[in-house]
Chains A and B, each alone.
Chain A
Amino acid sequence: EDQVTQSPEALRLQEGESSSLNCSYTVSGLRGLFWYRQDPGKGPEFLFTLYSAGEEKEKERLKATLTKKESFLHITAPKPEDSATYLCAVQLNTDKLIFGTGTRLQVFP
């Protein structure tokens, strides 16, 4: 069964305290892995797409990496405005996206 698991479920960081979010997946066919940010009451906002193991992408304080079994979203020196739920999703060969349950990140000043 295709499955996407994110950890931790919730993460509290002090401003400036770097950390990493994990997305592990077990799927029959991977076409791509997506990271999204979701604020309360809003739709997901696209962050990154990763297509192959070893690929890395960066945007401001965020960096996403991909291996054959998992992806990490590294947050360097986070700020309070980085507080949100971060979702990862795996695109299957069938074109569907399977989402993880997300990591709720809170960054305190």
Chain B
Amino acid sequence: GAVVSQHPSRVICKSGTSVKIECRSLDFQATTMFWYRQFPKQSLMLMATSNEGSKATYEQGVEKDKFLINHASLTLSTLTVTSAHPEDSSFYICSARDFRGMNTEAFFGQGTRLTVV
């Protein structure tokens, strides 16, 4: 299947600082990528849809000024958690959909464990 790479896999930062997470589609072009957040023993919650060359679409309740999304190329989307606080600590996962062929499976990155201290 298609490969989606996410970096870093783990990051610890101090309260008030910003953290950038990268999501790359390695063997296909992704006009749309998705960012999810997952709390322990809970399912994935969609935060926003990242569209190449345009503004991201945020889900209800997600602060767009806090979670900045940039999708500057067909293979890269970034999520920046600005002015991070301990309550932002979570597991962040990106996904991209491969529209080649007949199927449209969504493939996921490895996830980023963010800890804000």
Q: Which single residue of chain A is at the shortest CB-CB distance from B10?
A: A41
A102 to B40, CA, bound (A): 12
Q: Which single residue of chain B is at the shortest CB-CB distance from A45?
A: B108
Given A87-B44, A97-B34, A101-B43, A43–B113 Cβ distance below 8 Å? no
State whether B6 touches A43 (Cβ < 8 A).
Answer: yes
State whether B108 touches A99 (Cβ < 8 A).
Answer: no
CB contacts under 8 Å to B, within A24-47, are 32, 34, 36, 41-46
A95 to B96, CA, bound (A): 12
Q: Which single residue of chain A is at the shortest CB-CB distance from B4?
A: A43
A26 to B94, CA, bound (A): 25
Contact of B43 among A43, A49, A102 (CB under 8 A): A102
Given A43-B109, A46-B1, A99–B104 Cβ distance below 8 Å? no
How many chain B residues touch A (CB < 8 A): the figure is: 26
State whether A87 touches B43 (Cβ < 8 A).
Answer: yes
Q: Which single residue of chain A is at the shortest CB-CB distance from B45?
A: A99
State whether B110 touches A42 (Cβ < 8 A).
Answer: yes
Q: Chain B contacts of A100 at CB under 8 A? A: 43
Contact of A44 among B45, B49, B93, B97 (CB under 8 A): B93
Given A34-B106, A42-B111, A95–B32 Cβ distance below 8 Å? yes
A89 to B95, CA, bound (A): 13
How many chain A residues touch B (CB < 8 A): the figure is: 22
State whether B49 touches A34 (Cβ < 8 A).
Answer: no
Question: Is A96 at the interface (CB under 8 A from chain B)?
Answer: yes
State the Cβ distance, A8 to closest chain B Cβ, in Å.
14
State the Cβ distance, A91 to closest chain B Cβ, in Å.
8
CB contacts under 8 Å to A, within B1-40, are 1, 4, 6, 32, 34
Report which A residues bind B (CB closer than 8 A).
Answer: 32, 34, 36, 41-46, 49, 87, 89, 91, 95-102, 104
Report which B residues bind A (CB closer than 8 A).
Answer: 1, 4, 6, 32, 34, 41-46, 49, 91, 93, 95, 97, 103-111, 113
**15 A-B residue pairs with CB within 8 Å:** A34-B106, A41-B91, A41-B111, A43-B4, A43-B6, A43-B93, A43-B109, A44-B44, A44-B93, A44-B108, A46-B108, A89-B106, A97-B95, A102-B43, A104-B41
